[in-house]
Structure 1
Amino acid sequence: MPAVKPKNVKDDITAIAAKYGIEVVGFLKLDDHSRIPAGEMSLLNGVKWEDGEVDLSNVHDPLEIMPSAKTMVILGKKLLDDRSDIYYKASDGYSASVEMMLLEIAASKIIDALRKNGAEAGEYTSYYLKVWAVLCGLGWIGKSRMFVSKAYGPRLRLRGVLTSAEIGETHAVLPDESCGECTECIRACPVGAISATEVDRKKCGACPVNHRKLTENARAYCTACTTSCPVGKPAGHKHAGQAISRQ
């Protein structure tokens, strides 16, 4: 098995990501105690589903998926248009946005490259990848409970790759309070699903702006909280009006 050279491998991963238009690449160090630190579990709180909190048992430690993993590679693709989040039906069991398709292709190519370099590699398919992106120092969890990238705000879709290659780093965690006094996403939500401390996923999911049928093979989802966020917003960009009001 050939030796894995960290610098070369990281350069290869970055080059592959760039080829598929992936703007953000992060390298998170994992070890035998790698899990969401107890003090950071709040990153998962504040999201309600029906009458209770989200089920944290769905959050899997990376080492449960790949015991040999030393690094999680975080890939982030910026939304092509934050005013339009459209998922296309590719088959009966598969629908994805253009951004997610690009992430899937890039992740597959990166996994192939890692294996050719002699490392084990595979996808991280657990829920709440946003938490690992926070632990990777790429951003924080906003009032909308979405991941807010330092560079692109909530306009980033994520994908994870696990590998035995030791190319990860330890990063400082940015606190949820990084949103400061901003309440743009709270005011923009057309159904009032976002409060200062939590998000009601039941309200969000029932919003008429969500699941809008555009064609037989395409549905659109609400982007009110995404477009309203000032973090990473391009100069001159204005929040587009929503299809319905709070009333």
Structure 2
Amino acid sequence: MTIRDFIIRTCTDMGISCVGCAAVIRWEQPLFFPWVPESCYPNAIYPEAQTAVVIGLPVHLPVVETAPSIWYREEYKIVNSLLDQYTWRIATVLNDQGYASVSIPRDGYGSITVLQKNPAAFFSHRHAAVLAGLGTFGRNNMVLTRAWGPRVRFGTVLTSARIESDALIESSLCTRCNACVRACPVHALEEEDYPESKTNKKACADRSAALNGEYRSPCGICIKVCPVGADRDLFNRTDIRMYDDTGAWKKYHDAWDHVRSFGSD
């Protein structure tokens, strides 16, 4: 069994279906500009790193649809916690096999207050996911996947093992429908492809801080309206007009309003 097969089997045993690998040299071959600062490259953080192993876990669409809400907040926290646990376990299993490995925490910025001052983390799981062939960027500054659109969170393991990289997704998964641009409550997005679009990260962080005080952060609106993802078929949510039409889809709006009326002041 190759080390790659071993990782896939380990992930499968943990219920992880979204996993990809990227040789750290890929960070030195920018896909677009501006690119990740060199200080945030994998082997600038962990010099022994040869490969980044990236996993993804979904946030379930019907939960995201209630956002901002206490329900989405709690699921978001659960997914982040699982990512930290799973990546730690993967790194530990690789260490046991003789491959020096470390996991990168899901959030590397401290708090929303810190993020307001400096909207960045010490490592970008989003760029790692793209380089590991798991998705492409959308206009909402999020990584879009075939299975879940942007409704997915990523975690990364840096390992000394040399593992073949997964193929990049060459064509953008973004449909350029601008649903995320129109839906953003703080007008933080532009009708340009990433990275040409200048996302107002400060406005996004300020909204998250306000919602955090109400126990219903993060925002989540731009990811719930995105039409990309097979999860829309699974949950019968293929018509995104449902988020604006309170007539034909009244039962859904009633359900979302019910959830939003709980858990915050």
Judging changes above 3 Å, is the alpha-carbon distance between structure 1 residues 157 and 163 closer, same or farther for their aligned structure 2 residues? same
Structure 1 residues 60 and 79: CA distance shift in structure 2, 3 A: same
Cα deviations across residues 118-152 of structure 1 (Å, max 9, x unaligned)? Answer: 11101246322211211122111110111111221
Q: Percent identity?
A: 26
Q: Paired residue for 1:144, among 140, 143, 159?
A: 140
What runs of 5+ residues in structure 2 fail to find an aligned partner? 106-121, 192-196, 244-251, 261-265
2:211 aligned partner: 210
Deviation at 1:35, TM superposition (A): 2.2
* TM-aligned CA distance change 1:187 to 1:168, over 3 Å: same
Q: 1:58: Cα distance to partner?
A: 7.8
- RMSD between aligned residues: 2.9
- The normalised TM-score by structure 2 is 0.69
* SS in structure 1 at match of 2:133: coil
Return the alpha-carbon distance in structure 2 between the equivalents of residues 195 and 61 of structure 1. 27
Question: Residue 224 of structure 2 is aligned with which of 214, 227, 231?
Answer: 227
TM-score using structure 1 length: 0.74
Give the superposition deviation at 1:201: 1.7
Count how many residue pairs are aligned between Structure 1 and Structure 2: 212
Q: What is the CA–CA distance in structure 2 between the aligned matches of 1:230 and 1:193, rounded to whole Å?
A: 19
Distance 1:127 1:87 in 2: 24
Deviation track 1:87-142 (CA, whole Å, cap 9, x = no partner) reads 59xxxxxxx71001111111111111101111110124632221121112211111
1 CA distance for matches of 2:77 and 2:39?
23
Counterpart residue number, 1:92: none
Secondary structure at 2:211 match in 1: coil
Q: Which has the higher strand share?
A: 1
The Cα of 1:24 is off from its aligned counterpart by 0.7
The unaligned stretches of length 5 or more in structure 1 are 45-55, 89-95
User: Given the superposition, is the C-alpha separation of residues 13 and 39 from structure 1 closer, same or farther in structure 2, using an over 3 Å criterion?
Assistant: closer
Alignment of 1:10-25 (within 5 A): 10-25=4-19
CA apart distance, 1:163: 0.8
- Whole-Å separation in 2 of the counterparts to 1:20 and 1:128: 23
